[in-house]
Structure 1
Amino acid sequence: MMPVTAAPGVVPVGGEVLPGYRVEALLSRGGRVDTYDVTSLERDCRAVVKVVRPDRLDDAHVRAAVRTEGELLTTLAHPHLVRGYEMVTAPAPAVVLETLPGATVAALVDDRCLGVADVALLGRQLASVLGYLHRHGWVHLDVKPDNVVVQEGRAILIDLGLAARPGRLERGMGTDGYAAPEQDAGGTVSPATDVWGLAATLFECVAGAAPGRDPDLSRVPVRLRPLLAACLQAEPGRRPSLDVLRDRLDSLVAEPPRELRWWSRRRR
């Protein structure tokens, strides 16, 4: 991730965003948090800090979301989930994360659409980590190519800033193009909501763009078309379960590759 131009209220390079975390660059300024590339003085290594923006400190919902993300990433562990080092509550709620060298899936797709074999492997890895979150009673709610980093053939899911328990959700929580219809509408979210997000991500990998509400499945390779069509049903109850999705992806992964496998080897 490349640093962005500093904005008012951010900690300058060389300053400490948290005690013991020296800023190397501001990576991004979101609507709720600032994300910094830092050096951890205690660990003597680089890390990433996501901290509530100074102008959002009075927002209890934002503070709670960052605390939830920190609690999840420092207590849950999975090979396809970004690792959290620690959660900090003062001077501002923040979570300290491992640095992930590699490219996001969004960056890879900008270069070239992926083949079916690589998309199946990517989907299988994401189904594994999403299933892990679901079994612990959480839904991710923001699965998209920008939130998956590829590191030497391993897909790593990041950004649990929207993670929530299944149930009613405030309207509009999610990313346009990847949020399921019930998420956009402020309805009841469930593991089926993440099935949509995963399918939308895989759709973009093969078609070059998010599916939208009326996906053009003619852009999807025939071997993937029935599966993605089922996962992108408007009604959550008509989507396959994550277990069914996993099994179908396993079948595709097991097939002899029909195209050059490049996703796991590019942009190391």
Structure 2
Amino acid sequence: MIGRERAEALSPVPVGEELLPGYRVVALMAHGRRLDTYDAVDEDRDCRVVVKLLREDRRHDPRVVASVLQEGRLVTSLAHPHLVRGLAAFEVPAPAMVLETLTGATLGALVEDRPLAATDVAQLGLQLVSVLGYLHRRDWLHLDLKPANVVVQHGRAVLLDLSLAGRPGAGRPGAGTRGYLSPEQALGQGLSPASDVFGLGVTLHECLTGELPFGDEATWESRRRWPLVHRRLPRRPDVLPDGVPREMSDLLAGCLSLDPADRPDLGRVKDVCTALAE
């Protein structure tokens, strides 16, 4: 049974208390496995911000600390209209980062309400291609693209959460979100821009249909190299609603290819989405 002092130490910082120097708590937004996310007031900028603070019980794990510090460095050094803006990063008194407050709804919430039209999905695809290309040109992969990590604010899609961002090559096997991660992410081998293209394909497919192409619990057999096999019988990923242009259907089928070599590059995704968005 957890001790009283320990329990108090793990409790959220109370409303009105200083979270970090110059930042006071408005409300706890989320209590995650690694990070607590707060709505806070930035006293210097005199505005509301989001603060992601490493939980006290995870601060002795070097791998977790390094991951949070990397995310803080990335989000404060990268700047793109479709990427959440980082305002500050902290190593002491605790690993943390300060982000802009976004007032829109997540793409996941919008899709849960109703699927999007093909022209809207094409516009969304163009915005996500733009930010993914920006990351890729700097040799970073996002590796966790999904509707819950996209906020739509006045028609502008903003990509969130660089906690799993990594370099091409090898990575931690299974890092990602079930239903969205690519087969090579399950293996932790051969990560490339094509891995994000897979996540983009899943996301756009879900926006059109309201469902994930391989199911919401889909994962991949990680004990083999090739051919990769699905742990569950997948639905056909090319079954889309009537009225979806053939070009979009073919594009998504390519993005969802199990072999990364068969997936289109972002340039091809951009060309198709540009034609369909007009």
Deviation at 1:72, TM superposition (A): 1.3
Aligned to 1:131: 133
- The answer as to whether partners of 2:10 and 2:57 remain within 8 angstroms in 1 is no
After superposing on structure 2, the runs of 4+ consecutive aligned residues of structure 1 that deviate more than 6 Å are none
Deviation at 1:222, TM superposition (A): 4.1
Moved more, 130-139 or 219-228: 219-228
The alignment partner of 2:89 has SS state of strand
CA-to-aligned-CA distance 1:229-267 (integer Å, 9 cap, x gap) = 00000011110111111111111112xxxxxxxxxxxxx
- The answer as to whether partners of 1:9 and 1:54 remain within 8 angstroms in 2 is no
- The answer as to whether partners of 1:105 and 1:145 remain within 8 angstroms in 2 is yes
Q: How does 1:89-238 map to 2 (within 5 A)?
A: 89-212=91-214, 214-216=234-236, 217-220=238-241, 221-223=244-246, 224-238=248-262
Deviation at 1:207, TM superposition (A): 1.0
Match of 2:30 among 28, 31, 37: 28
The alignment partner of 1:72 has SS state of helix
Match of 2:90 among 88, 91, 99: 88
**Larger gyration radius, structure 1 or structure 2:** 2
- The answer as to whether partners of 2:256 and 2:263 remain within 8 angstroms in 1 is yes
Amino acid at match of 2:260: P
Aligned to 1:241: 265
Deviation at 1:82, TM superposition (A): 0.6
Percent of pairs identical after alignment? 55
Deviation at 1:12, TM superposition (A): 1.5
Aligned to 1:4: none
Distance 2:164 2:41 in 1: 26
Deviation at 1:9, TM superposition (A): 2.7
Distance 1:91 1:215 in 2: 48
Distance 1:175 1:53 in 2: 21
Deviation at 1:116, TM superposition (A): 0.2
What are structure 2's unaligned runs of at least 5 residues? 1-8, 219-233
Distance 2:113 2:122 in 1: 19
Distance 1:247 1:215 in 2: 27
TM-score by length of 1: 0.89
Judged with a 3 Å threshold, the aligned counterparts in structure 2 of structure 1 residues 149 and 204 are, in CA distance, closer, same or farther, namely: same
Distance 2:105 2:73 in 1: 26
CA-to-aligned-CA distance 1:156-189 (integer Å, 9 cap, x gap) = 0011011011110111110111111111222221
TM-score by length of 2: 0.86
Match of 2:277 among 242, 245, 253: 253
Distance 1:15 1:198 in 2: 40
Of structures 1 and 2, the one scoring higher in RCO (CA 8 A, sep 6+) is 1
The alignment partner of 2:172 has SS state of coil
Match of 1:38 among 37, 40, 43: 40
The alignment partner of 1:78 has SS state of coil
Distance 1:13 1:184 in 2: 40
Amino acid at match of 2:188: G
The alignment partner of 1:218 has SS state of coil
Distance 1:156 1:115 in 2: 19
Q: How many residues end up aligned between the 2 structures?
A: 249
